[in-house]
Amino acid sequence: MRFDSTNFDDEVINSSLPVMVDFYADWCGPCKMMAPVVDEMAEKYSGKIKIGQVNVDDNPDLASRYNVMSIPTFLFLREGKVVDTAIGGIPKAALEDHLKKLL
């Protein structure tokens, strides 16, 4: 799922499910490495955790809002509030550990 400035509040802040947001850019090598892992987690946690991406080049306002200085940055939100963060290319198991904390 793609999050952007037009749908972020509805899809993320007001979500009844916990949310993971992947801040990325198309030119970012570590972001490209993480993309299949993010897709796999989105499928695995479908219906339990909403998982989506924000392109920082297209949505600099959202990157600024959450002080995203490095990509990929993963934000984990519950009830519209950031409860956890991970930065950089991380192992699949580590990403899944962050997701499990949301449940």
Active-site residue numbers?
A: 28, 31
For 44, the enclosing helix (H) or strand (E) is helix 29-44
Total residue length of the chain: 103
The residues, any chain, with a CB within 8 Å of residue 21's CB and separated by 6 or more, are: 3, 12, 52, 53, 54, 74, 75, 77
Report the candidate in 48, 54, 50 with the shortest Cα–Cα distance to residue 14. Answer: 50
